[in-house]
Amino acid sequence: MNPHTTTQVPPPAPAAGAAVPPAGAAPTGRRFRRRRSEVSVLTGLGQVALIVWAIIVIAPILWTFLASFKNTAEIFSSPWTMPDHLRWENWSRAWTKAHVGRYFLNSVLVVSLSTFGTMLLGSMAAYVLARYRFWGNRIIYYLFVSGLAFPVFLALVPLFFVVKNLGLLDSYTGLILVYIAYSLPFTIFFLAAFFKTLPSSVAEAGMIDGASHTRLFFQVMMPMAKPGLVSVAIFNVIGQWAQYQLPLVLLSNAKDKWVLTQGIADISVNAGYEADWSGLFAALTIAILPMIVVYAIFQRQIQSGLTSGAVK
């Protein structure tokens, strides 16, 4: 035997019962590293998309806020620079001269009452549809939910005549009732799913203790559903605060009862004639800030309500 010849030693045979990797399969460590790199790439792309989306949303708001402290010349000559100094008189002029203060209070009144009515009626209807079994339960539920697929502008003309025939045109009552009607489908859809996740043992214990259906709902089930109620209430407040089409149709001839969106639309039209663009941006900032503050305060409650209803 030639001493310079290398002897090929065959690899040891796998033990009995051991899994044999298929031919051509990559090592486990290599597959893990490849998958981790793919996940890292997707995560990076997701973060880039979120950053772009945040810039798209925040940039106009920030620009509007800065423009509210500038004069008209600065707005057009240097729109992306900081104002020379804070001109709070723009805000006071918008609040008094442009009547934004009155429109603001009107919006607070209408949205507060309509949100209260929506949450009261919507929570009761959702609780009954979610926890009680009776003939027509699903039919009523789907009729409510079908309102989500019905655009508002399709019903503006018949809605105008219905409210007019009821004698509620150009009144807070008519607008509040319409707000409640259009907010109920989403409220019932969300809360019905949330009430189904609540434990039945608590309700049964309350009934054994002699609680009526009404007392059981208000004193036992509603406190347990607080996260969901808060989340839906915030969504309703934001949606009703930004509503423009319904007030435009139902409060067209009652300028003293206009809400904030109508007032700002009127200011934007007059700004082109009076060149008071700084007052317009101050009014826009006054309209935007309350919703940002509300969302910032109740952010944790909103997230808790959205996640609690998904886990039973």
Q: What gap in Å lies between CA 266 and CA 278, rounded to an integer?
A: 15
Determine the residue type at 204: E
Q: Where do the domains of the chain lie, and which CATH numbers do they carry?
A: 89-308 (1.10.3720.10)
Task: List the structure tokens of 223.
Answer: 């406190």
Exposure string (b/e) for 195-217, b if CB count within 10 Å is 16 or more? beebeeeebeebeeeebeeeebb
Residues 6+ apart with CB under 8 A from 150: none
Q: What percent of the chain has pLDDT over 90?
A: 29
Local confidence band at 140 (pLDDT 50, 70, 90 cut-offs):
very high
Task: List the structure tokens of 54.
Answer: 């945040």
What is the reported pTM? Answer: 0.79
Determine the residue type at 207: M
**N-to-C CA span, the chain:** 76
pLDDT tens for each residue of 159-191: 999 999 999 999 999 999 999 999 999 999 999
Local confidence band at 196 (pLDDT 50, 70, 90 cut-offs):
confident
Local confidence band at 275 (pLDDT 50, 70, 90 cut-offs):
low
pLDDT tens for each residue of 38-68: 777 788 888 889 899 989 988 888 998 988 8
CB 260 within 8 A of CB 102: no
Q: What gap in Å lies between CA 296 and CA 280, rounded to an integer?
A: 25
Q: Tell me the DSSP string of 8-24.
A: PPPPPPPPTTPPPPPTT
Q: What gap in Å lies between CA 125 and CA 195, rounded to an integer?
A: 11
Q: What gap in Å lies between CA 31 and CA 34, rounded to an integer?
A: 5
Residue bearing tokens 């004698």? 167
